Amino acid sequence: MKSANILRSLVVGAALLVAGAASAQAPAPAPAAPAAAPPPVVSTAAPPMSRLDGVSVPAAGPSSYQSPSMRPEAGLMSNDAELLRALAPTRGQVTIPDQKLATLIQPAGRDWRAAVKGPIRVVGSWLLLGMCCLLIAFYLLRGKIMIDSGMSGRTVERFNSFERFVHWMTAGAFVVLAITGLNITYGRYLLLPLLGPDAFTAISVAFKYLHNYLAFGFMLGIVLMFVLWVRHNIPSKIDLQWIAVGGGLFAKGVHPPAEKFNAGQKIIFWSVIVGGVAISVSGVWLMFPFFLGDVASMQLMQVIHAVVSLVLTAIVIAHIYIGSLGMEQAFDAMGTGQVDENWAKEHHGLWLAKLKGQAAPQYKMGHD
């Protein structure tokens, strides 16, 4: 009996072990199928924007920016360059006194750099080279303008010592300013390859000091020239007769009426005065950075300085030509101050008559 009970217990225990093993090997029930996802919704609204000192920029996020271009459906820029061009000046925060250093993005600087390196430099090159080529062609076709009636052997004073001093002080300062200024614009392309970095750097530094200090001599000369000669350079009806025949420069025997300064010289005078004032004001503005204005005003002044300087340089080149190689006795007027009477009669007949107390000569259709 006891043996039967023991045998029954063993059989029950074995059955329980077999059932537990089977349940452990059975696969887990499959999870319930997920609900169908809703269809994607494409939003046409712009991504969230954050603001930095009044400038809106795309907020950081996984969908706010897709390199290398913005999402077109959001209406943003198509690439980084367009985005930078569209940004307004962006400022951060600095703890130092100089708040100008807080400027992080200044888009106008790119426009200024593109203007200086592009149109201004290219057009300036053509302007100066074109003027030189034009004067060479004129000399080959017309030759030196001589005194048609020959030298008389009698001279009159054209300019006194002080007038000649003012002229040469202003002219000398301008020539140095032009050369040193052209080095800033074209030196790295013309001189740097020839001289090398060290020599070019030394020359450029020396040119910088010459440019800055001789500018004051040029400005003084502008003031003195205006005081000395403004009364002789007021436009008049006589100038129209001079202009009508091209001042007699293109044909022999043509000598239109003129006072102490003819129409061509008046154009030179007012170009130097107006252009000189523009160059002087813009030059002082640049010489003392941030004293008179901000970065934007300095960039504007630099463009004005460059453009007016190039135009005035081209005009002065023509003036130098006509006062040296282009016309007989023209250099003597500012060299010794004395000119031959026949030269004065042909080119400044009204002035000579007034100087000698004679009646004004009669002119007809620009001819004497």
**Would you state the structure tokens that stand for residue 87, as one six-digit string?**
């940004």
Asked whether 248 and 258 are in contact (CB, 8 A), the reply is no
Domains belonging to the chain, first-starting first, are 113-169+238-356 (1.20.950.20)
102-122 burial string, b = 16+ CB within 10 Å, else e?
A: ebebbeeeeebeebbeeebee
Alpha-carbon gap, residue 267 to 273, rounded angstroms: 10
Can you tell me which residue has the tokens 């030509």?
321
pLDDT digits (tens, 9 = 90+) for 112-169: 777 778 888 999 999 999 999 999 999 999 999 999 999 999 999 999 999 999 999 9
Other beta carbons within 10 angstroms of residue 279's beta carbon come to 24
Most confident of 59-68, 97-106, 250-259: 250-259
What percent of the chain is modeled with pLDDT above 70?
A: 71
Alpha-carbon gap, residue 171 to 51, rounded angstroms: 54
For range 43-71, the mean pLDDT: 43
Alpha-carbon gap, residue 307 to 289, rounded angstroms: 20
Alpha-carbon gap, residue 47 to 57, rounded angstroms: 10
pTM above 0.85, yes or no: no
pLDDT digits (tens, 9 = 90+) for 245-265: 999 999 888 999 999 999 999
Alpha-carbon gap, residue 223 to 166, rounded angstroms: 10
C-alpha 269 chain-centroid distance: 24
* Length reported for the chain: 368
Q: Is 315 helix (H, G, I), strand (E, B) or coil?
A: helix
More confident residue, 270 or 251: 270
Question: Using the 8-state DSSP alphabet, how is residue 74 labeled?
Answer: G
